[in-house]
């Protein structure tokens, strides 16, 4: 376990137990899929954010756990669907669902996870949480569609980039903190601080993910140069493109437009990103979000949950995978 997880081991164990019960199914094929996913769950950062948000308000309850389960079910569904859209075969250093069971079963499995979450919210009349979840689903889809459009045209600006990652990634982190606050009946000011904290953490997470895409040591569960293979312009590449000469820019666009890139193609783009020190520029943006998040935490009383969020921020800013 990582330090931020160690601080709330008991709460995570409670979540794991309840999440496992929610995933139970008598359908044999679904059981195989859910069992495979449960063995490869990742760090569970988003549902942990929901628990930590409630902890900051000193009121972790059953609704908190239901909300965290709903967040994880939604996140799992989006990962499954993302891998289909991106034609990705690797997820967290293992084969993705679509790589094993192909697209039809993967789409249905993602739908199943989403339906499970919606049913849970309706069953306990958690309509305020359901309202936030419905909003975040819209945002994620909107962000994905904008990214697809921008990937085709290769005309991404920094404003476009920030809008996309706020919609695709930031919105779910924002929602994770928001529903944690709702489940603890936080006041308007507390809820506002939690939403802002979630948004900052989400953007920080995605920028670090972009940086990790240039890690040639393969520390991460993400394929090296995966964004380049998918024709996506991430933040380090966006900064590099600003400084490239016309020949370098045309070569980069040619590679991004190709359906299949060689290792030499990917290495060429990575060298250009390194040449213009674009990783460092992206790191500075991530560090700025880290500092803003630490400032927001000063609005909450000291507790183990506040310490855990600081440890989460330290983990995110320093992570290599």
pLDDT for the residue numbered 221: 52
Alpha-helix residue ranges (DSSP H) falling in the chain = 3-6, 9-23, 28-38, 45-56, 62-85, 97-123, 127-153, 158-165, 171-183, 188-212, 226-229, 235-243, 246-257, 263-275, 278-297, 304-318
Cα 67 to its chain centre, rounded Å, is: 17
Which domains does the chain possess?
3-318 (1.10.600.10)
Q: Which residues of the chain have pLDDT under 70?
A: 92, 218-223
**How far apart, in Å, are the Cα atoms of 281 and each of 52, 189, 200, 225, 240?**
30, 33, 17, 18, 9
pLDDT tens digits along 159-192: 999 999 999 999 999 999 999 999 999 999 999 9
Cα 213 to its chain centre, rounded Å, is: 14
Half-sphere exposure of 58 (CA within 13 A, CB side): 5
Helix axes 127-153, 158-165, angle to 10 degrees: 150
Helix axes 263-275, 278-297, angle to 10 degrees: 70
Q: Which long-range contacts (CB under 8 A, 24 or more apart) does 22-27 make?
A: 22/69, 22/73, 22/116, 22/120, 23/116
Closest to 68 in 3D by CA, of 22, 111, 125, 108: 22
Paired residues of 90 in beta bridges: 95
User: Are residues 182 and 297 in contact, defined by beta-carbon separation less than 8 angstroms?
Assistant: no
pLDDT for the residue numbered 190: 98
HEC states along 253-291? HHHHHCCCCCHHHHHHHHHHHHHCCHHHHHHHHHHHHHH
Q: What is the pTM of this model?
A: 0.94
DSSP type of residue 86: T
Element (DSSP H or E) covering residue 95 = strand 94-95
Residue owning tokens 């993302």: 82
pLDDT for the residue numbered 5: 97
pLDDT tens digits along 82-136: 888 877 777 767 888 988 998 899 998 999 999 999 999 999 999 999 999 999 9
């Amino acid at each position: 376990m990582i330090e931020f997880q160690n601080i709330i081991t008991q709460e995570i164990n409670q979540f794991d137990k309840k999440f496992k019960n929610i995933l139970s199914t008598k359908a044999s094929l679904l059981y195989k899929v859910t069992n495979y996913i449960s063995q490869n769950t990742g760090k569970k950062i988003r549902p942990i954010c929901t628990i930590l948000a409630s902890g900051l308000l000193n009121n972790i309850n059953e609704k908190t756990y239901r909300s965290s389960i709903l967040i994880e079910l939604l996140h799992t569904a989006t990962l499954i669907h993302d891998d289909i859209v991106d034609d990705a075969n690797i997820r967290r250093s293992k084969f993705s669902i679509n790589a094993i069971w192909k697209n039809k079963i993967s789409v249905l499995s993602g739908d199943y996870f989403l339906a499970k979450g919606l049913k849970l919210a309706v069953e306990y009349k958690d309509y305020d949480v359901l309202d936030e979840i419905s909003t975040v689903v819209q945002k994620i889809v909107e962000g994905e569609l904008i990214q697809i459009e921008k990937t085709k045209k290769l005309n991404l600006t920094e404003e476009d980039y920030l809008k996309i990652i706020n919609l695709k990634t930031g919105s779910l982190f924002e929602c994770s903190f928001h529903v944690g606050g709702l489940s603890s009946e936080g006041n308007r000011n507390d809820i506002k601080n939690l939403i802002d904290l979630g948004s900052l953490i989400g953007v920080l997470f995605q920028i670090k993910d972009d940086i990790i895409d240039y890690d040639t040591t393969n520390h991460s569960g993400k394929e090296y140069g995966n964004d380049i293979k998918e024709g996506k312009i991430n933040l380090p590449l966006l900064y590099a493109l600003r400084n490239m000469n016309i020949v370098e820019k045309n070569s980069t666009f040619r590679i991004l437009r190709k359906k299949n890139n060689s290792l030499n193609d990917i290495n060429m783009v990575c060298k250009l990103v390194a040449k213009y020190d674009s990783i460092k520029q992206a790191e500075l943006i991530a560090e700025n979000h880290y500092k803003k998040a630490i400032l927001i935490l000063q609005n909450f009383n000291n507790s183990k949950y506040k310490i855990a969020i600081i440890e989460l921020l330290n983990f995110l800013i320093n992570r290599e995978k």
